[in-house]
């Protein structure tokens, strides 16, 4: 994966956008913290200055200007760290006491607060900013009391430095985190699109790998794999069907062709022509029946599973199908019976369901020897509504019950009877279309085929 790909990745861009939003809010928050700290510090300095000025004016009240001058001189002397600033001027502007040599040139605000820089406090060279308050004492004396902002500057600087460092760490973690998560996402999407490209390239066996974490990617990969399984199944069944059709239709067509060829070459009499034409007609009818069955199966298979279908009465369906096969069963010496619970309903396509049921009865009658019996049963079961056809014939061995549902599959034991091997394929397609279960079981003796349709129990 190229770095350029990463920068184009949606996740990375998303991570960067979130980082930008986060940074703006973090900067706003840090700015607020820094501003409120400086307001708090300034408030503290002002408190200190006012407390000190309070003490001095107390002294002035008690001991007059001498006492005040003495106290200021003493405080200026004792303030070895030179954090406090004092200046006392006489009404005519003479400096009486303090560690400041001149009155600041700046004007104070309405409350007398003033901010200025000094170069010298006491005898040492010292540059600092000072926040001071000026007072005019009774009798016109001017007093200035202030605090150097040197310490508060240091605190503010330390706070700002810590906030800046925090911000830098946040940005670094955000960028690295965004990079790592996007790389992970991009790699998984890359792997998926590589698999998809291989499938497009013709390798239908490729499947997406699952990480095992059952996250959204795994779910997507799982659905994709299921989709591919279904596509592969359809493609394979399509190619098997094509092969089967080519094979199964070639035989009767060849037969027709050689029969016509033979009669044209060797039989001049009209009767032989008539016979051949009749045989050819029967063969063509059979071919058409096969085509129709194939078309119905592919129509049923290609349809999406049916849901909102009108309800129909399965008992009526069974009665109609039994009536249709009654003469055939009688002719074969097979007893055909039907027991149907009334009041049940199945949502379905009547034509397809009738054809499926007819195919089951056709098989049962066809493969059951004379003297046997075939029964049709419609009943409510736990899972829904069951339509079953049972016979007393040879049955289907367990290992062949899956494969007889495929197109053109006929078991060796029954090859002598006419048929194309399409009847049960249609039953399977119709069952799938109606979301019904199709179960082939041993009827001891014989076979029982059960179709269980979901829902609709009698009310």
Q: Under the rule (CB under 6 A), what is the footprint of ligand ATP? A: 359, 363-364, 367, 391, 393-396, 404, 409-411, 414, 419-425, 447
**Which CB atom, from 208 or from 322, has the smaller least distance to ligand ATP?**
322
Q: Is 348 in the site for Mg ion (CB under 5 A)?
A: no
Q: How far is the CB of 434 from ligand ATP (least distance, A)?
A: 18
**Which CB atom, from 182 or from 392, has the smaller least distance to ligand ATP?**
392
**Which CB atom, from 53 or from 293, has the smaller least distance to ligand ATP?**
293
Contacts with Mg ion by CB under 5 A: the residue count is 2
Q: How far is the CB of 324 from Mg ion (least distance, A)?
A: 15
**Which CB atom, from 178 or from 395, has the smaller least distance to ligand ATP?**
395
**Which CB atom, from 191 or from 409, has the smaller least distance to ligand ATP?**
409
Q: How many residues are present in the chain?
A: 459
Tell me which of ligand ATP, Mg ion, none is bound by residue 447, counting a contact when its beta carbon lies within the kind-specific cut-off of 5 to 8 angstroms.
ligand ATP
Question: Within positions 189 to 228, which residues make up the interface with Mg ion, using CB under 5 A?
Answer: none
Tell me which of Mg ion, ligand ATP, none is bound by residue 38, counting a contact when its beta carbon lies within the kind-specific cut-off of 5 to 8 angstroms.
none
**Which CB atom, from 395 or from 423, has the smaller least distance to Mg ion?**
423
Tell me which of ligand ATP, Mg ion, none is bound by residue 421, counting a contact when its beta carbon lies within the kind-specific cut-off of 5 to 8 angstroms.
ligand ATP
Mark residues 414-433: x for contact with Mg ion by CB under 5 A, - for none.
---------x----------
Position among 148, 195, 363, 425 found at the interface with Mg ion (CB under 5 A): 363
Angle in degrees, CA 246, 252, 255, rounded to 5: 125
Q: Which residues bind Mg ion (CB under 5 A)?
A: 363, 423
């Amino acid at each position: 994966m190229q770095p350029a790909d990463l920068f184009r990745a949606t996740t990375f861009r998303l991570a960067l956008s979130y980082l930008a939003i986060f940074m703006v809010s973090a900067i706003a928050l840090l700015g607020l913290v820094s501003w409120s700290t400086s307001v708090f510090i300034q408030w503290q300095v002002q408190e200190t200055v006012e407390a000190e000025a309070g003490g001095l004016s107390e002294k002035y009240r008690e001991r007059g200007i001498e006492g005040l001058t003495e106290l200021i001189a003493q405080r200026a002397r004792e303030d070895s760290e030179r954090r406090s600033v004092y200046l006392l001027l006489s009404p005519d502007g003479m400096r009486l006491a303090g560690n400041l040599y001149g009155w600041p040139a700046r004007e104070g605000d309405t409350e007398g607060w003033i901010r200025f820089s000094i170069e010298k406090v006491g005898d040492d060279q010292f540059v600092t900013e000072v926040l001071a308050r000026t007072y005019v004492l009774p009798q016109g004396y001017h007093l200035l009391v202030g605090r150097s902002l040197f310490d508060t500057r240091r605190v503010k600087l330390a706070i700002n430095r810590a906030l800046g460092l925090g911000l830098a760490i946040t940005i670094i973690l955000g960028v690295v985190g965004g990079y790592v998560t996007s790389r992970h996402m991009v790699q998984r999407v890359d792997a998926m699109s590589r698999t998809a490209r291989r499938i497009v390239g013709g390798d239908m066996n490729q499947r997406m790998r699952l990480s095992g974490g059952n996250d959204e990617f795994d779910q997507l990969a799982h659905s994709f794999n299921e989709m591919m399984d279904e596509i592969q199944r359809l493609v394979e069944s399509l190619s098997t069907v094509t092969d089967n059709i080519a094979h199964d239709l070639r035989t009767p067509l060849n037969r027709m062709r050689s029969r016509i060829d033979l009669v044209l070459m060797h039989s001049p009499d009209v009767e032989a022509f008539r016979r051949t034409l009749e045989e050819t007609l029967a063969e063509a009818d059979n071919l058409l029946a096969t085509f129709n069955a194939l078309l119905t199966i592919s129509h049923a298979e290609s349809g999406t599973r049916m849901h909102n279908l009108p309800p129909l009465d399965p008992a009526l369906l069974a009665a109609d199908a039994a009536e249709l096969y009654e003469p055939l069963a009688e002719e074969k010496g097979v007893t055909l019976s039907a027991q149907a619970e009334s009041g049940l309903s199945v949502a379905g396509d009547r034509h397809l369901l009738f054809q499926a049921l007819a195919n089951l009865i056709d098989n049962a009658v066809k493969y059951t020897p004379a003297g046997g019996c075939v029964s049709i049963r419609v009943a409510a079961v736990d899972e829904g509504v069951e339509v079953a056809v049972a016979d007393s014939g040879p049955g289907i061995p367990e290992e062949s019950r899956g494969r007889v549902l495929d197109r053109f599959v006929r078991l060796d034991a029954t090859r002598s009877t006419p048929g194309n091997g399409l009847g049960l394929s249609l039953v399977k397609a119709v069952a799938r279309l109606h979301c019904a279960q199709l179960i082939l079981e041993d009827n001891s003796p014989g076979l029982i085929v059960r179709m269980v349709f979901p829902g609709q129990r009698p009310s």
